[in-house]
Amino acid sequence: MDNVIKLEYPIQAHGEEVTELVFPERCKARHMRGLNFNPTIDDMLDKLANLARIPKSSIDQVDKDDVVRLMDFYGEFFSMPDTSET
């Protein structure tokens, strides 16, 4: 899984133009704190802003097309391995 998401539509964060969001390479327990396993879009956007270390006001600028890709990343990042035996 790639931890860098290139934005089709740049945003502003920390007073600079942002063309990509960089996330941790692996999900750690600290990233899962407060994680809701039935998250709303607000929950996911807040968690993504936190992971990318950008303000919530910046994640609000992300275009819908980029949000779709961020949601895919969210699902992969927080996925749990299948531990059931077949």
pTM (predicted TM-score): 0.87
More confident residue, 20 or 1: 20
26-76 residue pLDDT tens: 999 999 999 988 999 999 999 999 999 999 999 999 999 999 999 999 999
Give pLDDT, residue 84: 66
Give pLDDT, residue 83: 66
More confident residue, 36 or 16: 16
Q: Is 53 helix (H, G, I), strand (E, B) or coil?
A: coil
Q: Which residue shows structure tokens 């692996």?
A: 26
Read out DSSP for 16-31?
EEEEEEE--SS--HHH
Give pLDDT, residue 32: 93
Please, what is the angle between helix 64-77 and helix 41-52, to 10°?
80
Q: Which residue shows structure tokens 């920390």?
A: 14
